[in-house]
Amino acid sequence: MGFEEIQAAGELLSTPGEPRAGSGECEEAVIHIAQTRFPNKGFCIVQQWTIVRAIASDGDLTKIHAHGHLPLFVFAEKVILNSRGRFDYGNWVRSTMAISFQDGYLFETKNTVYVLVGDGDEKSANLAGILSLYQ
């Protein structure tokens, strides 16, 4: 990763975004919602999260949508519960690209539903800058 990518990644993670509210339900309630609405998918309850909307060219957006994705990612500073034991309590996590985002707090990827609880934020960033965080 070059200096420009490192700088862009640092700015992405450190700048404040637009405040958003996740679910205010208790843990048992969001577990029930995730299991009922996504019965064959693992879930991950997270706090201190950021939704990142990718800024991309029309061509890239066409490709993203053609693959059944939305240009959205989630980064969370704190895992509360992971149904499949992939992430421990208190760890951070980053998602792959979303395939759906429902009710302002159910962020679905191909393999996982991230249940966004409490306060978070949303920001936009260049797609290349976001992808640099995955290298």
Instruction: Please give the sequence-ordered ranges of beta strands (E in DSSP) within 1-135, or none if there are none.
Output: 18-21, 42-55, 72-82, 93-94, 100-102, 106-108, 112-116, 119-126
Give domain status of residue 10, yes or no: no
Residue 5 pLDDT > 80: no
The pLDDT value recorded for residue 13 is 66
The pLDDT value recorded for residue 1 is 52
Give domain status of residue 119, yes or no: yes
**Rounded to whole angstroms, how far apart are CA atoms 113 and 98?**
9
Q: What integer best gives the mean pLDDT of the chain?
A: 90
Give domain status of residue 132, yes or no: no
Give domain status of residue 99, yes or no: yes
Q: Nearest Cα to 110, choosing from 52, 64, 68, 62?
A: 68
The pLDDT value recorded for residue 42 is 97
Give domain status of residue 5, yes or no: no
**Rounded to whole angstroms, how far apart are CA atoms 31 and 38?**
10
SS (H, E, C) 70-88: CCEEEEEEEEEEECCCCCC
The pLDDT value recorded for residue 6 is 53
**Rounded to whole angstroms, how far apart are CA atoms 49 and 121?**
7
Going by the DSSP 8-state scheme, the letter that residue 97 receives in this structure is: -
pLDDT digits (tens, 9 = 90+) for 75-105: 999 999 999 999 999 999 999 999 999 999 9
Give domain status of residue 2, yes or no: no
The pLDDT value recorded for residue 2 is 57
**Rounded to whole angstroms, how far apart are CA atoms 41 and 58?**
31
Give domain status of residue 105, yes or no: yes
Domain boundaries, position 42: 18-123
Please tell me the total number of residues recorded for the chain in this structure. Answer: 135
Q: How many domains would you assign to the chain?
A: 1
Give domain status of residue 70, yes or no: yes
